[in-house]
Structure 1
């Protein structure tokens, strides 16, 4: 019987080449994110940055379909965490949340191991808040004019605590001291908890914490709030005046919470992260909680955050120059 040839038969050499080509093809990229994301927090648990981070990260993780794990790396006024984040792999699995200390440190320290613009990719300006001028109950003042008058009668006798050189509480108090024309003694602490403990006991007389950290203690009657630092009163403290209206016209200071990725993070990844954090901020329960904490949600685009950082650099450099703050 005459055999019938198979027209579909492929020569063995060509078949082996085809198999080799398939084996050499790159595997399809995994959809982002495929594993938990680390969010490096610049300050210790219990501070305003930490409180806001934990609140928003959980909701943003739900939007992404992956957990966002909080990794507190306090120390050196935010410089330690920034260095760790700047050196991380720019794959979207390591993020950094800090405060205005990102630009303040650039004005104070000349030998930073990172650059606040060149070494980070902006994701979103998450939120902003004011500082509150807190006084120990042992200090015989009930208003900003009272405080200024007492400080002028006792130059260099009243001290204030902060969580370190370059933090918002430090710089805001230095702005206040300079504009009021008074002498105050700075007592820097390594942790916010000890700062509050010494304020309550009277070991330090003043503190300029952010509202999220200050409000719970104020509501328990542990300290007195004389004023807030912003341009307008906080909805969380409608009866507490601004420093500007109380005594020092033009005084205004606020802190803000940027979320950053290491420089070189893929644009698609950054956009996905931005959408998740903005979605979290738009959730009614998150907005309600932020309002109660005295925090204003922002949720900027990456480009808006980049512009904000560049604008804040010269502003805080001038504040540092005028206040005379120097690295310890």
Structure 2
């Protein structure tokens, strides 16, 4: 009799909780929603956030505010999201580098892989390996063959220690048996300036940004670091077709929540955000920014982030990579 009463109580409690969750989802959102972007205005994640925020504001009939929270290569903004109330009213607009900073930066009370919940990847961008327009290297093979024969002679620029370009360089070296001299800068702009001037020999730059440099002859593209060519630069051969398969600099842009958001609300956010990203007017604008729209499910995003976290952890450990201060 006692056991039967306990079972009835548990069943009733479960039903009540389910009803509460359903009610929460039906009422959501009842107030403004905040998109936290850990990057500067005008970057890929910021543009993604503003396009989707404008679209969802019309759908939800409540304001969707974009807030840029900068610092520590995106870690500060990620921490703001991870430590926000898990009620669905704070959404992080993240990028691949969350899998990097999770290893490179430790904060008391915040563990990204524990405190953030994947929602959906909106799309991807990739990078192209470039050299100066006056460089002696005309093909990817030319560069890699020379680098193998002359370890650490060629200077490879990045936007800083622990930056995505730095990690991708380490991956490329591991994949191709080469060793470059890494030269970290404080940002992409000074790295590109010195590359054009010949102070360094090569670097990775976002594929959709290379066209003006190529047209002016300031830079020469040796290959898109991806399995296939990029629609924004169809004349640039991929690494794969030049004999370097299974190497990609594809970086995702997507949405994450604080861990613990009620399932009905998390699922509604996933459905609404994905529907927004897939709309033609949003997709076309993102394409102009170099973002190839390829939305994921929540589980697919979790698998991508988990795999990246393990992969980057191994590379960071092997090459003793530290975040630039």
TM interval, short-chain normalised? 0.7 to 0.9
Aligned counterpart, 1:169: 165
Aligned counterpart, 2:95: 99
Provide the TM-score with structure 1 as the length reference: 0.78
Aligned counterpart, 2:263: 267
Q: Does 1:258 align with 2:272?
A: no
Report which stretch shifted further, 119-128 or 67-76. Answer: 67-76
Aligned counterpart, 1:49: 45
Q: What SS does the corresponding residue of 2:112 show, helix, strand or coil?
A: coil
Structure 1 segments unaligned to the other structure (5+ residues): 1-27
1:177-200 deviations in whole A, cap 9, x for unaligned? 233333323233343344444444
Aligned counterpart, 2:226: 230
Provide the TM-score with structure 2 as the length reference: 0.78
Q: Select which of 282, 293, 313 maps to 1:286.
A: 282
CA distance in 1, matches of 2:56, 2:247: 35
Aligned counterpart, 1:139: 135
Structure 2 segments unaligned to the other structure (5+ residues): 1-22
> Residues 1-328 of structure 1: matches in 2 within 5 Å?
31-109=27-105, 114-152=110-148, 155-215=151-211, 217-218=213-214, 222-327=218-323
- Structure index of larger Rg: 1
Distance 1:202 1:53, change over 3 A: farther
CA distance in 2, matches of 1:170, 1:200: 19
Distance 1:76 1:31, change over 3 A: same
Offset at residue 53 of structure 1 (A):
3.3
Offset at residue 97 of structure 1 (A):
1.8
Offset at residue 259 of structure 1 (A):
0.8
Which structure carries more helix by proportion? 2
Offset at residue 32 of structure 1 (A):
3.0
Offset at residue 110 of structure 1 (A):
6.0
**Root mean square deviation, CA, Å:** 3.0
